[in-house]
Amino acid sequence: MAQIKTTGMYKSFPRSGSDTKTSHYCAGCGHGIVHKLIAEALFDLELQDETIIFNPVGCSVFGYYYLDAGHISAAHGRSPSAATGIARTLKDRTIICYQGDGDLGAIGLNSTLQAANRGEHIAVIFINNATYGMTGGQMAPTTLAGMKTRTTPFGRDPLTDGYPLHVCEMINELKAPVYIERVSVADTRRIMKARKAVRKALKIQKENRGYAFVEIIAPCPIGLKSTPLETARFCMEEMEAEFPLVCLRDNSADQPLLPTPKKIVSVKDFFENSGTDLGISTAVPDESFKELRMKFSGYGGQGVLSLGLWLAEAARIDRRFTTWFPSYGPEQRGGAASCAVVVSGRTVGSPDADHPDLLVAMNQVAYERFIGDVLPGGFAFVDLTVPINVEPRAGVRLISVPALKLAEEFGITQSANTVILAAISAFGVSNLSRESLLSSLDAGFRKKPELAIKNKKLFVKAETWIKDQWKSSEVRECESAEIAASEDTAHGTGRGIC
């Protein structure tokens, strides 16, 4: 008797540390069957070397031990989002998202619908077994009404738990998908139909025709706490009554090839064609330049994000490595806003600034939230209106700047951030050249050059004022008594430089 060999899969599966031909799937599980259908299709269509498979968080997370193709693991439910990036950058690849009903139908539903709506060049294989098999059999989005699970011990109640989610039908409401079909692997006849569906989905990818979605009803004896035979019967009699096997759409014969995407523009070309007259510069490694991490914080509308951008732009002009990382709430104005800027003499490893060397706080909330994070030897710039009820840690130098008042006195009420930029320049704490800090305003107001001129004038005035008023004073570490008793300001608030 001739031996039948499975193609497209590895000869052995070393997941447990030793070579074996046994998978980790339970007896009667549908995953192994679907793996075989995909593997054979990839082999027959000559796609193995061109295919990247996204494995889910779930029972089939170890798919890379079995299927002889390229593999990527994405965050839970985010395979379609990650696959979009790969499909758009590696356009000659076949991309498969292999997902379960939790990974796709629960945490990843939005990613799935958005990718389908865009018609991304990917094939989605959706395993519907009506339960969360890996974690012990909890209710899934596709759990049938009345079905008992570990989280619905009295049965799924549509009044409190909702109805089973029909993902194929949801995707069929979208215009972009090319192929949508629901099949099953509960018996041999159904497996043969599933085989055709999987091949069609992958053929669509090979021919570059667009988005394909195949839902596969698959048995899960462990999750359902039944025998393989009973689980297969459950799939055929009960699950198919709720999820009928049907091809909802097949436009593959009429669908034209996807248009050739536009050429990807390099970063250099983008900036050279962006209309800026500042040119493009390449960062130069400089091990002698001490990395500086900065945090800019306040309310939305106070210009803290723009201030961070100006520092990052100045660093770029000085040919330093730099990043700008914003963080803000849902409010466009009035909500908390902050950004982190890192300037370095070498490639930046992380864009965050959890423990900054320099803090700018434009209000009390921002000051009290971040002042404890500033490293000893660092600086904290605050507006003079900010009450200092929390002492900075030892070694942190606190500088109060009447930024709001100076901006108003100099005629540009919304440019307190420019005054802070001038203060940073006056005290030389950024290790960036004054010329670059000034030039950063040209980039910041590129679309409104008249504002660039006004803010540069404000910068010069504020810098001069700060130097005249405070530069002669020695910057000292703050002590609580000094904060309370300082009379170093001409504006009568009882606080200046500590």
| 8 Å CB contact between 383 and 404 | yes
The SS3 assignment for 109 reads helix
What stretches in the chain show pLDDT beneath 50? Answer: 1, 275, 278, 332, 471-495, 497-498
Strands laid side by side in the 212-217 sheet: 70-73, 51-55, 94-100, 123-128, 212-217, 179-184, 246-250
Q: Which residues pair with 344 in a beta bridge?
A: 321
**C-alpha–C-alpha distance, residues 342 and 321, integer Å:** 8
Helix (H, G, I), strand (E, B) or coil at 442: helix
Alpha carbons 12 and 149: distance in angstroms, whole number: 35
To 5 degrees, how large is the angle CA 269–CA 270–CA 274? Answer: 115
The DSSP secondary structure of 169-189, one letter per residue, reads HHHHTSSS-SEEEEEE-SSHH
Phi and psi at 272, nearest 5°, equal -70, -25
Q: Which domains does the chain have, with CATH numbers?
A: 14-250 (3.40.50.970), 284-485 (3.40.920.10)
| Structural contact between residues 103 and 76, judged by C-beta atoms closer than 8 angstroms | yes
**353 closest CA partner among 296, 313, 290, 289:** 296
pLDDT tens digits along 279-312? 556 899 999 999 999 999 998 888 999 999 999 9
Packing angle between helix 449-466 and helix 434-444, nearest 10 degrees?
Answer: 150
398 to 136, 386, 480: CA distances (angstroms): 55, 12, 11
Residue 65 backbone zone (phi > 0: left; psi -120 to 50: alpha; other: beta): alpha
Which amino acid is residue 401, in one-letter code? V
Rounded Cα distance between 312 and 322, Å, is 6
Cα 330-332-335 angle, rounded to 5 deg: 65
Query: pLDDT digit string (tens) for 3-61?
Result: 556 688 888 888 767 778 888 899 999 999 999 999 999 999 999 999 999 999 988 88
Q: What does the angle CA 222 – CA 26 – CA 82 come to, to the nearest 5 degrees?
A: 95
Q: In this structure, are residues 314 and 430 in contact, taking their beta carbons and an 8 Å threshold?
A: yes
End-to-end alpha carbon distance in the chain? 91
- Distance of alpha carbon 349 from alpha carbon 237, whole angstroms: 55
CA distance 402 to 408: 10
Identify the CA nearest to 402 among candidates 321, 328, 281, 493: 493
Contact 411, 378 (CB under 8 A): no
DSSP string, 38-83: HHHHHHHTT-GGGEEEEE-SSGGGGGGGTBSSEEEE-STT-HHHHH
Give the per-residue pLDDT at 360.
96
How far apart, in Å, are the Cα atoms of 279 and each of 271, 276, 317, 319?
Answer: 8, 7, 9, 12
Spatial separation of the C-alpha atoms in residues 413 and 407, rounded to whole Å:
5
